[in-house]
Amino acid sequence: MKKALILLMLVVPVLVSAQGRARNVVLVIADAGGLGTLTAASLHATGTSRGLFVQSLPHVGLSDTSTASQIVTDSAAGMTAIVTGQKTHNGVISQAADTVKGQADGTALKTILEYAEQHGLSTGLVTNDSLYGATPAALYAHANDRAQSAVIFRQAFAPRFGDGVDVMIGPGRAALTRSLAAAGTSLEALSSGAGRPIHGSLAEVPADARRAIVLLDSSAFDIQEAALAAQKILARNKKGYFLMVEGDTHTDNVRQGLDRMVALDKAVAALSKVIGRDTLLVFTADHSFDLALRAGRLGAPLLEGLEAEQARAEEEKRRNIRIPTIRMDNGHTGEPVMVAATGPGAERVRGYMRNTDIFGVMLQAFGWRADDAPSGRQ
């Protein structure tokens, strides 16, 4: 009896540990999706302040979004913190704080996607911004300036770990074509050199594909369809996968930004139905945006008078918006953002977190240890 009890005591922690690990991680980023934007999007779509799917996720915390040197972050520094566990400066893509933006490279930081590649998992990213934009770029590239689009995108074809990002879906074809030409190369050269076709639409991807690059002309595509297509491809790897989905929810165009938040929320809800219990799902924002709710009645249209106000703003050459319900001052802001999660390891999302903590949540969910951990707390 005593031997059996001892054996049970030894086995149970192993079982608990195994059950607590994630086979897959899905990271969803609402770019500029601060608390004001989340609440406004919910009211806009449902008439209630808590009607979005992401607002129902069981584990919730707040995240600081500061950089290594500034209170207010951009997407480059914000995403770098989330996916490497270390802070850097605005404009820098997954290089450490020893980087001089636009002048000198710093220490390359290992990203959660690179850890996944090193461990043999499939990796993917979906965005409606651009495939070389700061948010997705921070996962696969290292650059001292986020504006170096050709330098950034070429790194997708010269990975430091594994065979590189397996699935990439997003817009930006025309601008990238020009940038690559200025750098003395082309999409065709990258494609043929790596033996990887660069598709122009989701419809071109073979039904049995295990890898796919889809470079679109426009951001006006169905992000839910793209996210589900990426997950389906990545799930063919029995070892697991890492997937990042970004929705551009900047509200400089108020209606478009809120509509995009609602669309991203629907994509998260759809993903939650197919990812399985072995998947950690994390939703957060890289930074907040200067949109605030000022007044209004529940159930009443949130954006009444918006189009007339936008016309006045354009005529007066101003970029801010004032309607009875909303104030928008068109800029990034430094207040904390929501982090919400479900699945193995989601319980680590709690309290007032650092943006760098989100990297640790994902890494620990996979059961991995950082091999280039920061020298001190940030």
Backbone φ, ψ for residue 282 (5° rounding): -120, 130
The yes-or-no verdict on residue 4 having pLDDT over 70 is: no
Tell me the sheet residues that pair with 212. Answer: 167
> Does residue 275 carry a pLDDT above 90?
yes
d(CA 156, CA 172): 15
Please say if the pLDDT value at position 368 is more than 80.
Answer: yes
Q: Band of the pLDDT at 20, cuts 50, 70, 90? A: confident
pLDDT at 371: 86
* pLDDT tens, residue by residue, 117-170: 999 999 999 999 999 999 999 999 999 999 999 999 999 999 999 999 999 999
Structure confidence by residue, pLDDT tens digits, 56-113:
999 999 999 999 999 999 999 999 999 999 999 999 999 999 999 999 999 999 999 9
Half-sphere exposure of 58 (CA within 13 A, CB side): 9
Higher pLDDT pick, 23 / 374: 23
DSSP 108: B
pLDDT band at 3 (very low <50, low <70, confident <90, very high): low
Q: What is the pLDDT of residue 249?
A: 98
- pLDDT band for position 47 (50/70/90)? very high
Predicted confidence band of residue 14 (pLDDT cuts 50, 70, 90): very low
Three-point CA angle 139, 25, 35, nearest 5°: 75
Structure token pair of residue 183? 């750098």
Structural domains of the chain, with CATH: 30-170+224-293+312-366 (3.40.720.10)
pLDDT at 10 over 60: no
φ/ψ of 73, rounded to 5, equals -100, 160
pLDDT reported for residue 11: 45
Per-residue model confidence as pLDDT tens digits over 192-242: 999 999 999 999 999 999 999 999 999 999 999 999 999 999 999 999 999
Lowest-pLDDT choice from 7-11, 122-126, 246-250: 7-11
pLDDT by residue (tens digit) across 333-356?
Answer: 999 999 999 999 999 999 999 999
Alpha-carbon gap, residue 67 to 64, rounded angstroms: 9
Confidence category of residue 6, pLDDT binned at 50, 70, 90: very low
Q: Report the SS3 class of residue 277.
A: coil
For residues 96, 100, 105, 108, the Cα torsion angle rounded to the nearest 10 degrees is 10
pLDDT band at residue 190 using 50, 70 and 90 as cut-offs: very high
| pLDDT at position 15 | 39
CA distances (Å), origin 49, targets 151, 176, 207, 288, 302: 42, 39, 40, 18, 11
Q: Can you give the pLDDT at residue 114?
A: 98
